[in-house]
């Protein structure tokens, strides 16, 4: 190394990992929001289904078509979707927590490496 302004490869690697984790956290957050929206839709549909009387005609959207469907089949399908979305949401929550924890650990390592390498951390790094 020719000067103290050069960043050691180890620090560069930590910084790159930190950036990758940030992207991953954002992606998991977006997925979680999408799944939570689907979960809410399924819950709302089940609530509305419960409000209907037994003789109500129910249609299910299949692509651009509305198909007449049996109430119990629609209820079972919505319940299954709700369960799947709920499980996926919980899985994404755990994944988000793990990645967030890893991010914080790497951030600490990077700060220690910057402090130990004699390189000052700049704003935005």
- Looking at residue 125, what is its pLDDT? 45
Say yes or no to pLDDT of 19 above 50. yes
Query: Which residue, chain included where needed, has tokens 């929001």?
Result: 33
| Alpha-carbon torsion, ordered 49, 51, 56, 58, to 10 deg | -20
Does residue 1 lie within any of the structural domains? Answer: no
Does residue 3 lie within any of the structural domains? Answer: no
Say yes or no to pLDDT of 122 above 80. no
- Looking at residue 4, what is its pLDDT? 52
Does residue 125 lie within any of the structural domains? Answer: no
Domain interval for residue 76: 9-115
pTM score, whole prediction: 0.76
Does residue 120 lie within any of the structural domains? Answer: no
Does residue 90 lie within any of the structural domains? Answer: yes
Does residue 121 lie within any of the structural domains? Answer: no
Number of domains in the chain: 1
DSSP category for residue 66: E
Does residue 123 lie within any of the structural domains? Answer: no
Does residue 17 lie within any of the structural domains? Answer: yes
Q: CATH number of the domain at 52, please.
A: 1.10.287.370
Report d(CA 81, CA 38) in Å as an integer: 9
| Alpha-carbon torsion, ordered 83, 84, 88, 94, to 10 deg | 40
Residue pLDDT, tens place only, 61-114: 999 999 999 999 999 999 999 999 999 999 999 999 999 999 999 999 888 888
Query: Which residue, chain included where needed, has tokens 């960043």?
Result: 7
- Looking at residue 1, what is its pLDDT? 44
């Amino acid at each position: 190394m020719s000067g103290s302004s050069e960043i050691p490869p180890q620090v560069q690697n930590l910084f790159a990992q930190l950036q990758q984790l940030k992207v991953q956290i954002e992606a998991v957050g977006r997925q979680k929001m999408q799944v939570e929206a689907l979960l809410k839709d399924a819950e709302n549909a089940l609530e509305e289904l419960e409000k209907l009387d037994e003789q109500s005609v129910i249609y299910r959207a299949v692509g651009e078509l509305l198909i007449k469907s049996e109430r119990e089949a629609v209820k079972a399908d919505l319940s299954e979707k709700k369960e799947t979305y709920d499980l996926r949401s919980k899985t994404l929550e755990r994944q988000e927590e793990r990645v967030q924890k890893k991010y914080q650990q790497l951030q600490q390592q990077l700060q220690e490496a910057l402090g130990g390498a004699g390189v000052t951390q700049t704003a935005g790094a």
